[in-house]
Amino acid sequence: MTFDPTQHSMLPTRHFDDFAVGEVFRAPSRTMTEGVFAAFQASSGDNHPIHYDRVYLARLGHRDLMAHGYQTLIQAAIGASPLAHQMGEALIGFLAQSSRFLAPVYCGDTLYPAFEITGLRRQASTGVMELAVTIHNQDGVLVVSGTQDYLMRL
C-alpha cells in the first residue's frame, strides 16, 4: 500500500456551500500556564509588569499574572478547531477580526473557545465565512467576544 499525504486529514473536508449559518465549532480547552505566559512574552516582546510581575499585580489587587488581550485572543485561532480542518484547502485566508475583552484572564485559568457561523457571503469565485467568536473561562464567564471573517474558495 502506498501512502498519499494528500489523503491524510483529521476530518472530511467540506465545500463553502456545505456550511450553514448557526453551526458551532469548538476548539479544545487550554489552560493558561506560566509556559503560555513566557511564550507570549518571548514572541510579543511585551514586558509590562501587569502581565509578568506578581508583586506588582498583587499591589493592584489582582490574584495572579494577568494575560494580555492578544494572549487570550490567540486561543481563538480556528486552526486549533475542527472548523479549519473541515475547510481544508478551500480556506484561502483570514480577512478580519474584531474583539472585546470583557473580563481578566489569569494564570491558571482554562479557556473554552467557540465559533458560530453567522454569515456566508457568496461571491463570484470565493465566499466569506463570518464567525461569532466567544471565549469563556472555567467559571463560565465570557472573557472575549468578537468576530472573524475568512475567505474561502467556492
| Tens-place pLDDT, residues 14-28 | 999 999 999 999 999
Distance of CA 51 to the CA centre of its chain: 20
User: Is residue 44 domain-resident?
Assistant: yes
Q: Residue 5: is its pLDDT beyond 90?
A: no
User: Is residue 68 domain-resident?
Assistant: yes
Residue 115 is part of which domain span?
15-153
Do the Cβ atoms of 149 and 72 come closer than 8 Å? no
Give the number of domains in the chain.
1
Distance of CA 5 to the CA centre of its chain: 27
Domain with 116 in it: what CATH number?
A: 3.10.129.10
| Tens-place pLDDT, residues 77-96 | 999 999 999 999 999 999 99
